[in-house]
Amino acid sequence: MNKVSRNKRLNPPYHGGCECGAIRYTVSAAPIVIYACHCTICQTQSGSAFGMAMRISAESFSLTKGTLKTFRRVADSGQVFTNSFCPYCGTRIHHRADRTPGQISLKPGTLDNSSWLRPSHHVFLRSAQTWVVIPDDALRFETVPENRAWLRGE
Ligand SMILES: [Zn+2]
Ligand SMILES: [Zn+2]
């Protein structure tokens, strides 16, 4: 049994890495926001029902082992994303939007201890898989909140 009580935010630093172990990283600051995205791209990327993102400041992230490979994707909105993953096992570690260069969206399932994660926001619920049940205390959005303040932790 994990000693960390569930849903209690863990204090930084956090450590994590990819599936094969070639990539290791450390995060030195607490997250800005943790959310789940149910868009079809996140479903494809994760190979699962939704993607999780932990917004952190770019300077709080340090790679301690390995070198990430990247690819860039232009979204329908015109926004450009740089997606970083392990070159050996393909595990996505994070992405960064050109619009917000000071922030990284870490894939928090890659943390060594993911037991404390709890998304406060669920976005793109219009494409959520039908079996997914959203907790009552989470904020829900058919697409994304109009006001981008939530991505700054406001
Ligand atoms: Zn790997
Ligand atoms: Zn998404």
* pTM metric for this prediction: 0.91
Residue stretches of the chain with pLDDT short of 70: 1-7
pLDDT at 6: 52
Q: What is the pLDDT of residues 98-130, one digit of tens each?
A: 988 899 999 999 999 999 999 999 999 999 999
Ligand 2 centre to CA of 124 (Å) is: 7
Please indicate, yes or no, if residue 38 is contained in any of the structural domains.
yes
Total domains in the chain come to: 1
Ligand 1 centre to CA of 110 (Å) is: 11
134 C-beta neighbours (distance < 10 Å), count: 14
Q: Which ligand is nearest to the CA of 45?
A: 2
Ligand 2 centre to CA of 60 (Å) is: 23
Q: Which domain holds residue 95?
A: 14-142
CATH number at 49 reads 3.90.1590.10
Q: Which ligand is nearest to the CA of 90?
A: 1
| Pair of tokens at residue 5 | 């009580």
